[in-house]
Structure 1
Amino acid sequence: MAFLSGFVKSGLSLLGKDASAFPYTIGPKVEWYENQSIWSLHRGTKKEDNSEVSIFTFDVVKNRNMVQLAKHAYKKMRTLRHPDLLRFLDGVENDQAIMIVTDAVEPLSDQLKQNADKNLTLWGLYKIASAIKFINNDCGMVHGNVRISSIFTNKAGEWKLGGFELLDSMKEESPMIMTFGGMIPDANRYASPEIKKSGWTVIKDLPTSATDSFQLGCLIYETYNGHMDSTDKLMSTRGDIPSKMQNVYKLLLTTSPKARIDSERFLDEGLRPQGFFSNEFIQVNLFLENITIKDQSEKDVFFRKLDNVIETFPQEFSIHKILPELINAFEFGAGGPKVLSSIIKVGGHLPDEEYVKVVIPCIIRMYAAPDRGIRMALLEMLPSYVDRLTKKIVNDQIFPHVALGFTDGVPMIREQTIKGILLLVPLLSDRVINYDLLKYLAKLQMDEEPGIRTNTTICLGKIAKHLNAATQKKVLVPAFARSLKDGFHHARIAGLMALNATAEYYDAQDCATRIIPCISLVLLDKEKPVRTQAFKTLDVFIKRVSVFADAMPDTAIVETVASPQVTEGGPGGPGTFARSNSASAAAAGVAGVLGEATKGFAGWAVTSIATRVSSICAHCSITSVLSNDFCMS
């Protein structure tokens, strides 16, 4: 912390009295960068929201001879805007320091040292050429400082052109590059042949693009081959420059300034069929950047294709570049359900905190959309993002929209909603589960579609553990008993399976008086799979009742022993006592006879059922028509 504090104090000391008003915290410095530039580069944060920024600082007092360059760069950065230029956010200029605040970036050399992805490198060259085209052709200016040290990468790894110290129009009375061109670090190393021969003033007589085109050629060389000691190597050693790019590369470096191609020609050649920019990665990015002018059929084809290739792209690029473009496309109705899959795939790489900020709001807005296709896609992909949802979000913002699917006129939506709710139930509140959800499921048990009735029964069986005890007792048996009377035999099987799976929630009385009688109704069902499942389920409940019965006392009769009294006649006399004894003996006799008479019957009945169940369990099996990922087992 002391090390970091030193950087902060050092940076703020440059501002003098303006330090307290500066709305950014200056962090660590990129130590080696100031050897290549007139600026010091610091990481920083915005005090208001702690968002990351980069801060370029220039010490006016220590670098008097470079002040004009720093002031010029500050002025140009404030006024010049383009997606491929380093973006100016804020700045301070006083007699002690000049500070420029930009998006959070790193020097390009960091990316190149780390064996950069080939797609990122190609896309980076495309973006720099696009920036140069804007400066030369649209603004009529010369950049004059195109090199690795003037290029930065954002969080996506995308290249941004900075280094505006020399950027100026040749129509100015005294353009910066003509006066100060040689003062930039390593200026001569990147100077074109005509500048080395005639000096910086020659630029005013050259085509506007000539100087920057030559420097673009130097950039290509160093991008693929590393440090360039001298421009003499440019034409003799091409190294790892892609073969498709080499002809155009030579045209950028030709010794005749008027024969050099400009950056627009470089882009056109690269985008030709089979050109060096003609690959999937670049085509995807170009489409996304121009998606607002594409028609719907083109968008549909694009998003289908994107879903198949998105996972092959660099992860950081997909997160910070493609994901925002996809979310933006959805916001403006350019993708519908087809864009969701790609959003979920890319968003899955985000940490939870970022996921909640970036992806969850998009998902919530999708649930609120009336488009059935979006609703279906959300439900189908629910397993991919349900773990990122919180109970509050589900109960307050998602379930009210999901619940609309239970009453949707399209059967597929109703069915998918039933399947989806199984994943959301653990996040739902007790009130929503035991009241709102069960109300919808009760209606769906009478749905006109037999498959929906079947899956509703299965759903009830699976969510039973989330119901409170009172609701379990009140709802489950009637619901499953109803399914046993369904005309669709798969619904009857589902009811039996649900009873089996929820057996632990029923007491002995329910098992004996409500459930076993219901099961007995389908023991002789016309469909064998139903009969087979009925005997399996009956066996479970017979055994369960047997356990309860074995734990019961032998009798509920409370025996009372009367005190012997001998009286002469009347109530309580010897006659009464004798008659009472006789009645007891008779009752005992009858009980004994009945016991002997029913012993064989009862034993036969139980043995028969047990044998039947045992036989079926040993030799029969059931094949469920339900999908494996949606069964009761």
Structure 2
Amino acid sequence: MFKFLKGVVAGSGSGPNNLPYNIGDPYPSAWGSWTHHRGTSKDDGTPVSIFSLSGSNANDGHLAAGRNGVKRLRTVRHPNILSFLHSTEAETFDGSATKVTIYIVTEPVMPLSEKIKELGLEGTQRDEYYAWGLHRIAKAVSFLNNDCKLVHGSVSLASVVVTQTLDWKLHAFDVLSEFDGNNEASTGPMLQYEWLVGSQYKPTELLKSDWATIRKSPPWAIDSWGLGCLIYELFSGMKLSKTEELRNTASIPKSLLPDYQRLLSSMPSRRLNSSKLVENNEYFQNKLVDTIHFMEILNLKDSVEKDTFFRKLPNLAEQLPRQIVLKKLLPLLASSLEFGSAAAPALTALLKMGSWLSSEEFSTKVLPTIVKLFASNDRAIRVGLLQHIDQYGESLSAQVVDEQVYSHVATGFSDTSAFLRELTLKSMLVLAPKLSQRTISGSLLKYLSKLQVDEEPAIRTNTTILLGNIGSYLNEGTRKRVLINAFTVRALRDTFSPARGAGVMALCATSSYYDVTEIATRILPNIVVLTIDPDSDVRSKAFQAVDQFLQIVKQYHDKTNSGDTTGAASGGIPSGNALLGWAMSSLTLKGKPSEQTPVASANFRCASYLCPL
């Protein structure tokens, strides 16, 4: 631990073999003489970026500037400045020559120039993304100049990198130095390493090394010029090769042009302060900037503002650059839901964004948040989770459902709200197949037993249909103990006619689970009574069921007479699959009448009772 800390503070002097990170392939470009590598942690494989700078001896000027950059990056912290993780310095011997290399390890980033090519944004989406990025860099430069009284000295496209969430970060601190404007009598250079900066990026006073003028100028003068260079390179798509190119403003957005010209004023005292640049409401106010800004200060918003914002977000997300939505907005949204700062309507937006991910990405970026949300005490969140369970339920593993999700969902069975009880019941169509036999027998069936006598008739009906659908997931002993009693003793005797009809259908759908003795002594006697039911729909279903079960008994009689006893004790199911399919479709398509497939009139009349309470 001491050796590691020594390396962080002053360079451990150990070679890269002792660096707790693996150095990967380099990017094609980097600021100055640095090389920007991809990298990973040797401990857990976490991605990082590794910057390396080599010199022929320890007194090399580039190395001295590099050490300044390491010191500054380590001590200056800001959300829009590259995050420092580790540094070290190593000596290697190649024959008679000695090479000294500085390594800086940071959060994983890539050069802005490379990310722009990768994203390939065009038109309005490109301009919105550039506005958001420039807003971030202007904030970072303002922090250095106005709050810390520091001068970066080399702001350009090369000094900007992009994180995995597409945030722009400022780095390249080799030239960075204190602004000593109070020491006007001094004639020495204020920026010790300004010789590292290309002449095309230097304002006139820095090009002439006019330190007296620089000290009399505001602390932002040099970096405001650098921001102008960054804006030119960004919109022109070309690296600045000479200062005169900055006069070519054809590619600069009209709303940004006046500020661009003020950043590049020939008089240092008249250059625009970067803190004023971000106040350009016309350029920096767009859908992307406003959306991300709202998400980042969500805790400061009241409930009405949050509710309005999240109801609009699903449609708004479709208009924003897809990669930015998935890499920036989606993580922000997931985090705000997990920590309770987002309103329940945010769940709809989360699932919509999640639908744009691959199944693997959905499982890693969205499902963990959903699983955590099941433990929420917010009833609106619980309702939202259950209403949309068909969108993510199949992605939940059996272990997660049984160990982490079910116990929270099950509280809804006893909720005082009939609407929540029904949503909980219907969610079992997705969750029950993933439950263990122990959970089904020891918990779920007990809850369903209570719901069969619920005060709400629609819930009693849906409970019977659910039992018919999950029959195949019960073991044989449980089926024999539960199903016939649930359908004959309770459902067929319910005062609500659709519940009686559901009981008949459930028996037909599960007919293959009963032996001929149970059919003859327990099922048929109870169904025959319903052939004189006051409700015509129940009577029709009862006659169909009697025919089906009598056919099973007749098949048993024929096999017995012929001496074939194979399967004679068990029933068959000529049409049960169709009924089971109907029940599942009715539940799945709840609330979506326009999508329902036309069914037989008798079935449709019963399905009408499966609507929300």
**What is the TM-score with the length of structure 2 in the denominator?**
0.83
- Superposed CA deviations along residues 212-245 of structure 1, whole A, max 9, x for unmatched, are 112212211211112133332323x323332222
Alignment CA distance shift 1:421-1:555 (3 Å): closer
1:529 to 523, 537, 541: 537
Q: 2:491–2:500: 8 Å Cα contact kept in structure 1?
A: yes
Computed over aligned residues only, the root mean square deviation of the Cα atoms, in angstroms, reads 2.7
- Over 3 Å counting, the alpha-carbon distance change for 1:138 and 1:279 in structure 2 is same
Secondary structure at 1:276 match in 2: helix
Residues 20-41 of structure 1, C-alpha deviations (whole Å, 9 max, x = no match): 43211111122x325x512111
Matches within 5 A, 1:297-376: 297-348=304-355, 358-376=365-383
Separation (CA, whole Å) in 2 of partners of 1:300 and 1:549: 66
Say if 1:202 and 1:404 are closer, same or farther in 2 by CA, change over 3 A: same
Change in CA separation of 1:112 and 1:201 when aligned onto 2, cut-off 3 Å: farther
Name the structure 2 match of 1:295: 302
Superposition deviation, residue 198 in structure 1: 5.7
Amino acid at match of 1:183: L
Aligned to 1:110: 114
CA separation of 1:416 and 1:499: change in aligned 2, threshold 3 A: same
Please tell me whether the aligned partners of residues 255 and 283 of structure 2 are also in contact (alpha carbons under 8 angstroms).
Answer: yes
Q: Percent identity?
A: 38
Is residue 2:84 matched to residue 1:72?
no
TM-score by length of 1: 0.80
Larger RCO (alpha carbons 8 Å, 6+ apart) = 2
Aligned-pair CA distance for 1:375: 1.4
- Taking the aligned partners of 1:424 and 1:102, their CA distance within structure 2 comes to 43
Query: Between Structure 1 and Structure 2, whose CA radius of gyration is higher?
Result: 1
SS at match of 1:484: helix
Residue 162 of structure 1 deviates from its aligned partner by 0.6
Amino acid at match of 2:18: A
> What aligned pairs does 1:183-582 form with structure 2 within 5 A after superposition?
183-184=196-197, 187-196=198-207, 199=210, 202-227=213-238, 228-235=240-247, 237-269=248-280, 272=281, 275-348=282-355, 358-481=365-488, 482-553=490-561
Structure 2 distance, partners of 1:176, 1:256, is 20
In the alignment, which residue of structure 1 is the partner of 2:25? Answer: 28
Aligned residue type for 1:539: D
1:197 to 1:64, Cα distance in 2 relative to 1, 3 A: closer
Per-residue Cα deviation, 1:65-110 (whole angstroms, up to 9, x for no partner): 3122111111110100000011111111466322111111111111
Q: 3-state SS of the aligned residue for 1:622? A: helix
**Cα pair 2:74 2:84 within 8 Å, conserved:** yes
The amino acid across from 2:69 in the alignment is A
**Cα pair 1:143 1:167 within 8 Å, conserved:** yes
Aligned-partner SS, 2:86: strand
The residue that corresponds to 1:89 in the other structure is: 85
Q: Deviations over 1:533-577 (max 9, x none)?
A: 222222222322222222221799xxxxxxxxxxxxxxxxxxxxx
Query: Unaligned stretches of 5+ in structure 2?
Result: 1-10, 92-99, 565-599
* 2:14 and 2:88 in contact (8 A); partners too: no
Structure 1: distance between partners of 2:259 and 2:14: 52
* Distance in 2 (alpha carbons) for counterparts of 1:152 and 1:436: 54
Match of 1:144 among 135, 148, 153: 153
- The answer (yes or no) to whether the contact 2:14–2:89 under 8 Å persists in 1 is no
CA contact (8 A) 1:461 1:499 kept: yes
Partner of 1:415, secondary structure, is helix
Q: Is the 8 Å Cα contact of residues 142 and 169 (structure 1) preserved in structure 2?
A: yes
Q: Is the 8 Å Cα contact of residues 25 and 38 (structure 2) preserved in structure 1? A: yes
CA deviation string 1:442-498 (max 9, x = no partner): 111000110100100010011011111222222212211221221111111211221
The 8 Å contact of residues 287 and 320 in structure 2, kept in 1 or not, is answered as no
Give the aligned partner of residue 4 of structure 2: none
| 1:513 Cα deviation after fit | 2.5
SS of 2:36 mapped into structure 1: strand
Asked if the contact 1:525/1:531 (under 8 Å) is kept, the reply is: yes
Q: CA deviation at 1:203?
A: 2.5
Distance 1:189 1:281 in 2: 32
Contact persistence 2:13–2:90 (CA under 8 A): no
Count of residue pairs brought into register by the alignment: 546
- Alignment correspondent of 1:124: 133
Change (3 A) 1:67 1:458: same
Long gaps (5+) in structure 1: 1-13, 557-619
Task: State the SS of the aligned residue for 2:385.
Answer: helix
Report the 3-state secondary structure (helix = DSSP H, G, I; strand = E; otherwise coil) of the residue aligned with 1:157: coil
Asked if structure 2 preserves the Cα contact closer than 8 Å seen for 1:168 and 1:176, the reply is no
Counterpart amino acid of residue 104 in structure 1: P
Q: Which moved more, 1:546-555 or 1:420-429?
A: 546-555
Counterpart amino acid of residue 622 in structure 1: A
Alpha-carbon distance between aligned partners in 1 of 2:288 and 2:327, rounded to the nearest angstrom: 15
Q: CA deviation at 1:200?
A: 6.2
| 1:18 Cα offset (Å) | 4.2
Letter in 2 for 1:101: V
> Residue by residue, what CA displacement relative to the aligned partner does 1:295-323 show, whole Å, maximum 9, x if unpaired?
22222222222233234434443344323
Structure 1 contact 181–200 (Cα < 8 Å) conserved? no
Matches within 5 A, 1:605-624: 621-624=601-604
Q: Could you tell me which amino acid in structure 2 is paired with residue 29 of structure 1? A: P
Distance 1:625 1:372 in 2: 32
Equivalent pair of 1:54/1:102 in contact (CA under 8 Å): yes
Distance between the aligned counterparts of 1:628 and 1:357, measured in 2?
Answer: 38
> What is residue 576 of structure 2 aligned with on the other side?
none
**CA 1:198 to 1:37, structure 2 compared with 1: closer, same or farther past 3 Å?**
closer
Q: Is this contact kept in 2: 1:29–1:43, CA < 8 A?
A: yes
User: Per-residue deviation at 1:177?
Assistant: 5.8
Pick from 93, 99, 105 the counterpart of residue 103 of structure 2. Answer: 99
Counterpart-to-counterpart distance in 1, 2:609 and 2:290: 38
SS at match of 1:179: coil
Instruction: Give, in whole Å, the separation in 2 of the partners of 1:29 and 1:628.
Output: 63
Contact 1:120 1:158 in 2 (8 A): no
Residue aligned with 1:97, SS: strand
In 2, Cα distance between the equivalents of 1:307 and 1:498?
Answer: 39
Choose which of 42, 49, 61 in structure 1 pairs with 2:44.
49
* 2:354/2:366 contact within 8 Å kept: yes
> Offset of 1:506 from its aligned partner?
2.0
